Amino acid sequence: MGFAYFAGANFLLTLVAAILCVCFAPTAAGPGIPEIKAYLNGVDTPNMFGATTLIVKIIGSVGAVSAGLDLGKEGPLVHIGSCIASLLGQGGPDNYRLKWRWLRYFNNDRDRRDLITCGASSGVCAAFRAPVGGVLFALEEVATWWRSALLWRTFFGTAVVVVVLRAFMEICKSGNCGLFGKGGLIMFDVSNVSVRYHAVDIIPVALIGVLGGVLGSLYNHLLHKILRVYNLINEKGKFHKLLLALSVSIFTSVCLYGLPFLARCRPCDPSLPDSSCPTTGRAGNFKQFNCPKDYYNDLATLLLTTNDDAVRNIFSISTPREYEILSLIIFFALYCILGLVTFGIAVPSGLFLPIILMGSAYGRMLGTAMGPYTKIDQGLYAVLGAASLMAGSMRMTVSLCVIFLELTNNLLLLPITMLVLLIAKTVGDCFNPSIYEIILELKGLPFLDAHPEPWMRNITVGELADVKPAVVTLSGIEKVGRIVEILKNTTHNGFPVVDEGVVPPMGSRIGATELHGLVLRAHLVLVLKKKWFLQERRRTEEWEVREKFTSIDLAERGVKIEEVMVTEDEMEMYVDLHPLTNTTPYTVVESISVAKAMVLFRQVGLRHMLILPKYQAAGVFPVVGILTRQDLRAHNILSAFPHLEKSSGGKKGH
């Protein structure tokens, strides 16, 4: 009967979360962090930061977490933070935007990027109550370009989060907001234990680090395989997606309810105060479950509770005999399985908490096994285990260190936490890339890596341009017909503008060609839509330009060429592209190596890069080609130049 209620409630909650995700906003499923990372790298996933996604993510995350599934609210909170930032920046959802004057200041890509970074760091801060950790998370994991101004802007964002959080806690202290006011600002407080460790303790600490690295990369590897299988299932349709989510929910319920029966009842430690063991009907350690008075079931303490409380219980200090090693093994095995099968289902899910649970389990196991040989508390072993698995899987160091510092409020743990994180990251890096990179690759997002591959030094951008279709250029004053034709027949987003037969200001050398700049597809479509046409082939005067365009017109996006109607007569008219052209595009010479071009592309944050000829003579065309993000992706270059991979010595790894 108890099981029926338990499983039924979980089933319903999962159903709600999954239906919302499947039907209304598929982008709300999963953590959202990889997509945010890709967005900040310059790759936009459609509908990622919309109002629907936000609402589905909030409700879905509440549902999925309450359903007792093995997933966290951290990733979703990061995504929620970014959604809110994006919506605030553009003045509301797409259809009902506020058109306030000051909102225009945010109407550029850089500010949008900065806002979303601030949102992500605030999300981490809200999830872990770790303001500095949030800033560092955004810096280390999420952001591609970092400006010093961003450091204190994200910091300001997280400061506001903390102040608001504290204010709510103050208001809710009287108990009229349910469980909300409970607990302090620090989630898993272990500050009241005095940490003592000696040189000998380095050995188990290093062991945890190595274990974390190995298990973390193993987890990444297995999750990769399972996500591939899930992708195949999910592709079959909405019903299959739902079915997958619901079967995971039922499996979770069965395990959580059934497994505690395997553990035997253990007597409470008589030295503890009466009220603390066993606990029934409230959060806390030592769950009674089916045991007699003054006895408790240690596995139920870990399983039949919220995930947050499970972490608190397994981190608990000065309770060296609370958990039997067998219970911990069952707990670890169960959460390994759940952590692998739960992540890919169609509900909002974070990776942090499952990994913390897994890691703390083997950390505590090791602590129990070390028993008399160590002075470090078992609770701290659990903390170190969690940290090691996080570093082994996510490959972050400084941000994790600060998050753990802020989670546990024990500064004396810092040196050994640092050691564990560094060892785990180093060991993990030997095997495979971080979990977020694996997900990015699985989703097929063209993420641009920070470092060019070594073989990219052996190929020039000129060679790259040679194997591409010839570049499509426009004249400064172009026929409407040609623009329409080019826009319809190509998918390029930028076109070089070249003036032929101009006279350079230095005189004498007539018949020169001039590279005027780069014009964007969006602006060309806009010209056609607004019909800024000229009867004859002439340049527009400055006053005409001022009359015709405003910067707000040009910021408009999303008009498609198919929606634009141009009559036969208009086809014969002209457009002066000069005022619409970006006259100062970044350029490279054709002899530059791809590696160097990629550094420029990524460091400055470009979308298009023009290639100039290294020769100077009459008849040489002033543009050799144009490079985009796709051209610089290692995978695409290698498919055109297969011999390069061989020269890199087969060291491609993944």
409-448: contacts with its own copies (CB under 8 A): 409, 411-412, 414-415, 418-419, 422, 425
Closer to its own copies by Cβ: residue 322 or 406: 406
Interface mask toward its own copies for 480-509; x: CB under 8 A: ----------------------x-x---xx
Rounded CA separation 28/83 (Å) = 11
Closest CA to 613 of 453, 458, 454, 471: 471
Residue 11 CB, nearest distance to its own copies (Å)?
Answer: 40
* Cα-based distances in Å from 612 to 250, 316, 625: 61, 64, 7
The count of residues interacting with its own copies (CB under 8 A) is: 80
3-state SS, residue 567: coil
Spatial contact of 572 and 441, defined as CB atoms under 8 Å apart: no
3-state SS, residue 383: helix
Which range touches its own copies (CB under 8 A), out of 73-81, 406-414, 471-479, 630-638?
A: 406-414
Residue type present at position 109: D
Closer to its own copies by Cβ: residue 166 or 321: 166
When binding is defined by CB under 8 A, the residue of 512, 561, 638, 640 that contacts its own copies is 512
Q: For residue 295, give the DSSP letter.
A: E
Closer to its own copies by Cβ: residue 157 or 385: 157
Residue type present at position 463: E
Which range touches its own copies (CB under 8 A), out of 253-261, 289-297, 377-385, 403-411?
A: 403-411
* Cα-based distances in Å from 65 to 10, 188, 561: 10, 19, 44
609-612 β-sheet, strand order:
587-589, 609-612, 625-627
When binding is defined by CB under 8 A, the residue of 313, 517, 625, 631 that contacts its own copies is 517
When binding is defined by CB under 8 A, the residue of 3, 105, 152, 180 that contacts its own copies is 152
Rounded CA separation 382/378 (Å) = 6
Closer to its own copies by Cβ: residue 564 or 588: 588
Query: According to CB under 8 A, which residues from 157 to 186 bind its own copies?
Result: 158-159, 162-163, 166-167, 170, 184-186
Is 542 a binder of its own copies (CB under 8 A)?
Answer: no
* Cα-based distances in Å from 286 to 46, 102, 299: 47, 55, 9
172 phi, psi to nearest 5 deg? -85, 5
Is 467 a binder of its own copies (CB under 8 A)?
Answer: no
Is 401 a binder of its own copies (CB under 8 A)?
Answer: yes
Angle made by CA atoms 128, 131, 132, in degrees to the nearest 5: 115
Residue 498 CB, nearest distance to its own copies (Å)?
Answer: 9
Is 474 a binder of its own copies (CB under 8 A)?
Answer: no
Query: According to CB under 8 A, which residues from 69 to 88 bind its own copies?
Result: none
Spatial contact of 85 and 32, defined as CB atoms under 8 Å apart: no
Query: According to CB under 8 A, which residues from 574 to 593 bind its own copies?
Result: 583-589, 591-593
Chain centroid to CA 645: 29
Residue 152 CB, nearest distance to its own copies (Å)?
Answer: 4
* Contacts of 164 by beta carbon, 8 Å cutoff, 6+ apart: none
Is 321 a binder of its own copies (CB under 8 A)?
Answer: no
When binding is defined by CB under 8 A, the residue of 596, 628, 638, 648 that contacts its own copies is 596
Interface mask toward its own copies for 15-54; x: CB under 8 A: ----------------------------------------
Spatial contact of 36 and 78, defined as CB atoms under 8 Å apart: yes
Cis ω for the linkage preceding 415 (within 30 of 0): no
When binding is defined by CB under 8 A, the residue of 19, 242, 334, 402 that contacts its own copies is 402
When binding is defined by CB under 8 A, the residue of 52, 90, 107, 513 that contacts its own copies is 513
Query: According to CB under 8 A, which residues from 222 to 261 bind its own copies?
Result: none
When binding is defined by CB under 8 A, the residue of 255, 345, 405, 637 that contacts its own copies is 405
Residue 2 CB, nearest distance to its own copies (Å)?
Answer: 40
Is 155 a binder of its own copies (CB under 8 A)?
Answer: yes
Residue 191 CB, nearest distance to its own copies (Å)?
Answer: 7
Query: According to CB under 8 A, which residues from 121 to 150 bind its own copies?
Result: 131-132, 135-136, 139-140, 146-148
Is 615 a binder of its own copies (CB under 8 A)?
Answer: yes
Q: For residue 264, give the DSSP letter.
A: P
Residue 297 pairs with which residues in a beta bridge?
Answer: 265
Residue 362 CB, nearest distance to its own copies (Å)?
Answer: 23
Closest CA to 92 of 59, 100, 558, 556: 100
Is 551 a binder of its own copies (CB under 8 A)?
Answer: no
Is 460 a binder of its own copies (CB under 8 A)?
Answer: yes
3-state SS, residue 349: coil
Residue 502 CB, nearest distance to its own copies (Å)?
Answer: 7
Closest CA to 78 of 98, 54, 100: 54
Query: According to CB under 8 A, which residues from 326 to 355 bind its own copies?
Result: none
Angle made by CA atoms 332, 389, 183, in degrees to the nearest 5: 80
Residue 450 CB, nearest distance to its own copies (Å)?
Answer: 6
Q: For residue 434, give the DSSP letter.
A: -
Closer to its own copies by Cβ: residue 398 or 638: 398
Residue type present at position 103: L
Rounded CA separation 304/261 (Å) = 12
Residue 276 CB, nearest distance to its own copies (Å)?
Answer: 22
Question: How many other CB atoms are there within 10 angstroms of residue 340's CB atom?
Answer: 18
Closest CA to 625 of 499, 496, 482: 496
Residue 148 CB, nearest distance to its own copies (Å)?
Answer: 6
Residue 375 CB, nearest distance to its own copies (Å)?
Answer: 13
